[in-house]
Amino acid sequence: MRIDIVTIFPGYFGVADAGGRVAESGPLGVSLIGKAAGRGDVDFRVHDLRSWASDVHHTVDDTPFGGGPGMVMKADVWGKALDHVLAAAPVPGAAPARLVVPTPSGRPFTQETAASYAGEGHLVFACGRYEGIDSRLVADARTRMPVDEVSIGDYVLAGGEAAVVVIVEAVCRLLPGVLGNEQSHSDDSFGGTGGAMSGLLEGPVYTRPRTWREHEVPDVLLSGNHRAIARWQRDEALRRTAVNRPDLIRRLAATPEGLGKRDRQVLADAGFPVDAENVAH
């Protein structure tokens, strides 16, 4: 997969060379993402938006039409940057790149979005700063490629760069061969896509020693009874989800196969009864 990132802060991503390749020490060069890049499963290029500014001050923003606070990033500078990045597309004849614009006013980025991006050949991220990018940039890009405006949560960041690191990490760990153990996706919080824990947060986990500061590992995990272990893990996931994300329990309760009889009993015992009136449809 090819990933291009356009930003006024290329240093944020740890750029190693004039070609925009990332350093082994930056956020895209370490850990799981770094290994994927090292193997060639993903090819990152970071571009400095100011390279496409035409004046001596390398201006990328201007005051908003209609007034109001802050500055808006210029469509003409962004347009030239995108033209360049798309013209240098890696595989001739491949599907068009997808443009991803991180913004607090976008659609929520979810595990489902991450899984669909993991199937793309080329993602281009446009990092906005200030009050955002002139809206004609996205309108124009939509005439030639798929475009997503996405938000990573209900809070406001100063720019899209941190969101890009979040999105890239969520996507890269889903690339074939990256995590190594394919099973580990289906037990992720949110259950990956399907599997026994679908739609639930992950429950507690333990490793050696069996006793630590007088805290014991739950006996069932040492029992060797795989059915009992699986049931206990689901019970714990249900309880944790009910406390931390009651919205997810309501969503599951509204799905035909979402919650079984035993699930409902566990939730009721934990003080979270799921019945017709607290299920959102």
> Which of 5, 37, 85, 103 lies at the binding interface for ligand 6GU (CB under 6 A)?
103
Q: What is the closest distance, in whole angstroms, from the C-beta atom of residue 7 to ligand 6GU in the complex?
A: 12
Q: Closer to ligand 6GU by CB, 150 or 266: give it.
A: 150
> Which of 99, 163, 197, 238 lies at the binding interface for ligand 6GU (CB under 6 A)?
163
Stretch that binds ligand 6GU, among 65-73, 99-107, 235-243, 244-252 (CB under 6 A): 99-107
Q: Closer to ligand 6GU by CB, 104 or 195: give it.
A: 104
Q: What is the closest distance, in whole angstroms, from the C-beta atom of residue 254 to ligand 6GU in the complex?
A: 26
> Which of 102, 192, 203, 258 lies at the binding interface for ligand 6GU (CB under 6 A)?
102
151 binds ligand 6GU (CB under 6 A): yes
Residue numbers 207-226 binding ligand 6GU by CB under 6 A: none
Instruction: Please name which of 110, 125, 134, 120 lies closest in space to residue 160, comparing C-alpha atoms.
Output: 125
> Which of 89, 157, 221, 270 lies at the binding interface for ligand 6GU (CB under 6 A)?
157
**Which residues are known to be catalytic?**
104, 131, 173, 188
Stretch that binds ligand 6GU, among 26-34, 36-44, 159-167, 273-281 (CB under 6 A): 159-167
> Which of 160, 199, 203, 258 lies at the binding interface for ligand 6GU (CB under 6 A)?
160
Q: What is the closest distance, in whole angstroms, from the C-beta atom of residue 141 to ligand 6GU in the complex?
A: 17
Q: Map the chain to HEC letters.
A: CEEEEEECCHHHHCECCCCCCECCCCCCCCHHHHHHHHHCCCEEEEEEHHHHCCCCCCCCEECCCCCCCCCEECHHHHHHHHHHHHHCCCCCCCCCCEEEEEEEEEEECCHHHHHHHCCCCEEEEECCCCCCECCHHHHHHHCCCCEEEEECCCCCCCCCHHHHHHHHHHHHCCCCCCCCCCHHHHCCHHHCCCCCCCCCCCCCCCCCCCEECCEECCHHHHCCCHHHHHHHHHHHHHHHHHHHCHHHHHHHHCCCCCCCHHHHHHHHHCCCCCCHHHCCC
Contact 5, 164 (CB under 8 A): yes
- Give the integer Cα–Cα distance in Å for 193 and 276: 26
Q: What is the closest distance, in whole angstroms, from the C-beta atom of residue 127 to ligand 6GU in the complex?
A: 8
Q: What is the closest distance, in whole angstroms, from the C-beta atom of residue 83 to ligand 6GU in the complex?
A: 23
Q: Closer to ligand 6GU by CB, 21 or 98: give it.
A: 98
Q: What is the closest distance, in whole angstroms, from the C-beta atom of residue 106 to ligand 6GU in the complex?
A: 6
Phi, psi of 234 (to 5 degrees): -70, -40
Binding site for ligand 6GU (CB under 6 A): 102-104, 150-153, 155-157, 159-160, 163
